[in-house]
Structure 1
Amino acid sequence: MADLVTDFADIRPLLGVPQPVATRVRLCRTAGQMAGMAAIVLHDLGSRREARAWFATAAHAAGESGDRQLHAWVMAREAMVGLNYGSPKAAAGLAEQARRVAGNSPTAAATLAAAVAARAYALSHQPDQARDALADADRLMERLSGEQRADTWFGHCEQKHHVHLSHALTALGDTGEVVHLAVGAVTVEVELPSAPDRHEVGIVFIPAVDVESVPRSRPAVRRHHSASRPARSRAAPC
């Protein structure tokens, strides 16, 4: 976090002086990315007021850069603040703005925006809108390029996608389990009882020896096998 703030502080003075158009666009884009990352870290730390301030800065910089996908990413990520802190209707509105900005092309930002919208609608008791957004998110996910699927700050990998869909399906009351047969590990996504109001999801990896041995006591357990990665533990990216 300190490095992000320091780097942003180094860029900020450059935005206050005349620059060639191409240089200013690059500076604004970099500033938008940094501010967005800082906002996410602050949100994860529970610093809501500071996070919102940084999201506003990120949105402004992204808008100035003309990068619609970055702008949509910032708005979709900000919508997640509302999801985690009990304002799903506000989150739905912001996620819809992100969807409009991102457009219909298969990009990571567009996919994220649709997935977040699905979660927000599900929590707002708007099942039809939620299912439409879920279908759109899946359609976009299927068309993402390898670069857009990268597990990075700005990519939308399958693990992130399944976390969002798991949240939405749980809120909708769809407790069906999805099992993709393959050799590898099983990813189990369950709502954490430690903070149910924030709808957190934990992911653990267990050997794919006996799928039926996975506990079924909580709703919306989604399991999928992966042949490409070994059994390990990691925090779920949000």
Structure 2
Amino acid sequence: MADRRHPSSCAARTREQARTEGWSGDRTAAAIARCCAVSLLRGHRLARGWTLQQAVDAYRDMTRNMPGAARVDQDQLRIWETSPGRRPRAQTIDLLCRLYGTSAGGLGLSGDYTPTTAPATVHPGRPAQDSPAHSPAAVAHGDALDQVLDRTRHRVDRTLARATVSPGQLDLLDERLLDLRRQYLVTAPVPMLGHLLPELDEIRTLAAERQPATAQMRLSEMTAVLATLTADALMKLGRLRHSRAWYATARTAADDSTDTDLRARVRAQAAMLPYYYGPLTSAVTLAREARILARHRTTPTAAFAAAAEARALARHGDTTRAREAIHRARDTFDRAAPGDPDDAFAFPERRLLLYLSGALTYLGDTREADRVRSRALTLYGDHPGIDPALLHLEQAICLARDRHPAEACRLATSAYLELPAAQRTDLIGARAHDVLTAIPQRLRSAPAARALGDALALPTTET
């Protein structure tokens, strides 16, 4: 069909006339098609004031939960609008009829979703306001039951497709979330909370609106990740009550999704709080739940769950099962695909070794623990943060258990004081206190032990 390329104001004038005189969507589209010498398919798009991209976005939103729906882009829609010999297949024609609320005659194609009342002009992002399809007025006008059923179903489908957040917005949120996950590894807990909480509030606002199921699940997954990082930062700061509550929120959000790996990951991460602060039985339970959720999978999360269970069992004194979990963690990690080492929600080798270091320390396997720690510290390199300090403190615990109290205290003091003040958190302080606890009471008044106690008495990070 020839395209005289009328200016957009031509279609706009017709839309305004249609709005003033109460024309139906089909009549508006037909008037634009005649005036601008375009196809009826393009006429319906212009009757709504949609660009090609806006029409494609509306189609994708509508078909997001429809298995087998054809993928449509701007070029494909333009071809259908301008080439009479190029027609979409029957199922796609039916979806286009549904998108524009019209029929075979309305588009010159097939399918029928014609509204009974003349809809108001539809603007991008704003639904038309129609009277209920099942209203007494519809029945009074003699509408057949099957017509009422079709119209009602059409309105329900359109409601399910409406959302306040687009797929593009969700993709941008995912990009921002990935940046935060990377930033988390090099940022102290207090300033990190300043980045996490505004993102959580924005996602909460979006999740409170009516969203399609897939969008709602993606928002729940984002909430689970951000809540986990928030809980972890609070744990490092020693804000135990708040950390425990945020971990619970993370588990609720993860369980609201269909991502089993995420559900396992959140539980494995949550096991850290009772591992460091007690009760150890809770750490074992959470790690076991994570391991059960991740069973039969060869993923980094499955390795993480096994490693978390190993060190919790070792600290709890369950030697046999701890060694079994260590073997399971190593075997699973060796067969899993490596993740991004700069992602706080990944589980790279250095983190595996951090967990195995803790397990081996409490199993009393000093030589293997030293070997694992040496490899882990090599992988961390100059990486700033709390994890390398935790490795040095576990080495100090091993020294204390091997009856080298002075050396243990000097190493713990050095590891504690070399951290930037913003990262000298309550978690690091608690692990340094564990070094003192491993030293016999009668030796805690020695100079090296007193120096460690003095270091721990320095002001810590405040929230």
> One fold, TM greater than 0.5?
yes
Q: Give the ranges of 4+ consecutive aligned residues of structure 1 lying more than 6 Å apart after TM superposition.
A: none
Say if 1:108 and 1:154, in contact at 8 Å, map to a contact too.
no
1:144-183 map, 5 Å: 144-147=336-339, 150-177=341-368, 179=371
- Residue 61 of structure 1 aligns with which residue? 253
Equivalent AA in structure 1 for residue 266 of structure 2: V
Cα RMSD between the aligned structures?
A: 2.9
> Quick check: which has more Rg, 1 or 2?
2
In the alignment of these two chains, the number of paired residues is: 199
Residue 33 (1) aligns with residue 225 (2): yes
Pick from 299, 306, 331: which aligns with 1:139? 331
1:13-24 map, 5 Å: 13-24=205-216
Q: In 2 relative to 1, CA 139–188 (structure 1 residues): closer, same or farther, beyond 3 Å? A: closer
Whose relative contact order is higher, 1 or 2, with alpha carbons under 8 Å and at least 6 apart?
1
Pick from 77, 84, 100: which aligns with 2:269? 77
* Separation in structure 2 between the aligned mates of residue 201 and residue 132 of structure 1, nearest angstrom: 22
Following superposition, the deviation at residue 114 of structure 1 comes to 0.6
Following superposition, the deviation at residue 104 of structure 1 comes to 2.4
Relative to the length of structure 2, the TM-score reads 0.40
Equivalent AA in structure 2 for residue 169 of structure 1: L
- Residue 202 of structure 1 aligns with which residue? 392
Q: In 2 relative to 1, CA 31–186 (structure 1 residues): closer, same or farther, beyond 3 Å? A: closer
* Separation in structure 2 between the aligned mates of residue 141 and residue 78 of structure 1, nearest angstrom: 20
Structure having the higher strand fraction is 1
Residue 111 (1) aligns with residue 111 (2): no
Structure having the higher helix fraction is 2
* Separation in structure 1 between the aligned mates of residue 228 and residue 253 of structure 2, nearest angstrom: 10
Q: In 2 relative to 1, CA 179–13 (structure 1 residues): closer, same or farther, beyond 3 Å? A: closer
1:151-196 deviations in whole A, cap 9, x for unaligned?
421111111111111110110111224659xxx996499xxxxxxx
Equivalent AA in structure 2 for residue 67 of structure 1: D
Segments of 5+ residues of structure 2 without an aligned counterpart are: 1-192, 381-388, 403-417, 429-463
Q: In 2 relative to 1, CA 133–18 (structure 1 residues): closer, same or farther, beyond 3 Å? A: same
* Separation in structure 2 between the aligned mates of residue 135 and residue 21 of structure 1, nearest angstrom: 39
Equivalent AA in structure 2 for residue 202 of structure 1: H
* Separation in structure 1 between the aligned mates of residue 218 and residue 278 of structure 2, nearest angstrom: 36
Say if 1:150 and 1:157, in contact at 8 Å, map to a contact too.
yes
Q: In 2 relative to 1, CA 52–176 (structure 1 residues): closer, same or farther, beyond 3 Å? A: same
Residue 128 (1) aligns with residue 325 (2): no
Say if 2:300 and 2:338, in contact at 8 Å, map to a contact too.
no
Relative to the length of structure 1, the TM-score reads 0.75
1:177-224 deviations in whole A, cap 9, x for unaligned?
4659xxx996499xxxxxxxxx94238xxxxxxxxxxxx95569xxxx
- Residue 88 of structure 1 aligns with which residue? 280
- Residue 196 of structure 1 aligns with which residue? none
% identical equivalent positions: 34
